[in-house]
Structure 1
Amino acid sequence: MAKKSAMNKNARREKLVAKYAKKRAELKEQIYNKDLGEEERWMVVMQLAALPRNGAKTRLRNRCEVTGRPRGYYRKFKMSRIGLRELGSAGKIPGVVKSSW
């Protein structure tokens, strides 16, 4: 089980990302707009920099829904390899069978 503080920190980041996603997209669209003047675009860059850094999507970390483990993450199942193996062996994930030969 991962540290609760790390899992809570990532949850707070998810909320900030959701809150500022629209604002960030609008500002980035303006930055890449070549019709605006150099000064205006620079002011938009400063507005983007003023937003919270934890509101950026790249700050998020994929974590296992079961254990909170950050490594060995399978996106399809939203679980780490260890959680996937345990639940797959127990037959709790439809369509997943433990391989043996």
Structure 2
Amino acid sequence: MAKKAMVEREKKRQRMVAKYAAKRAELKAIAADENRPMEERFKAHLKLAQLPRNSSRTRLHNRCQVSGRPKAYYRKLKISRIALRDMASYGQVPGMVKSSW
């Protein structure tokens, strides 16, 4: 089980990304538009840099919804390999059976 503080930190980042998503998109569009004057584009870059770092989408990390584990994450299922194996052993994942040979 992951530390509770790490899971909460990730949730806080997700909230912050959602909060600033529109503003970041607007500033990025201004900064990337080559038809605008260079000064306006530079100001957009500066405003973008003043936003909180955790409002950037690249700072998010996928975590297992069961255990909070950050590694070995299956995107389709939103859980880690260990949680998947435990759930499969208890028969909680439809269509998945334990293999042996």
TM-score for the superposition, normalised by structure 2: 0.95
* Segments ≥4 residues shifted beyond 6 Å: none
Which string of whole-angstrom CA distances, capped at 9 and with x for unpartnered residues, describes residues 45-97 of structure 1?
A: 00111111000111111100000000111001101100010001211122322
Structure 1: where are the runs of 5+ without partners? Answer: none
Which string of whole-angstrom CA distances, capped at 9 and with x for unpartnered residues, describes residues 7-49 of structure 1?
A: 0100100000010111111111111101101111000000111
Structure 2: where are the runs of 5+ without partners? Answer: none
RMSD of equivalent CA atoms: 0.9
List aligned pairs for 1:1-101, cutoff 5 A: 1-101=1-101
TM-score for the superposition, normalised by structure 1: 0.95
Q: Which moved more, 1:90-99 or 1:36-45?
A: 90-99
Aligned residues: 101
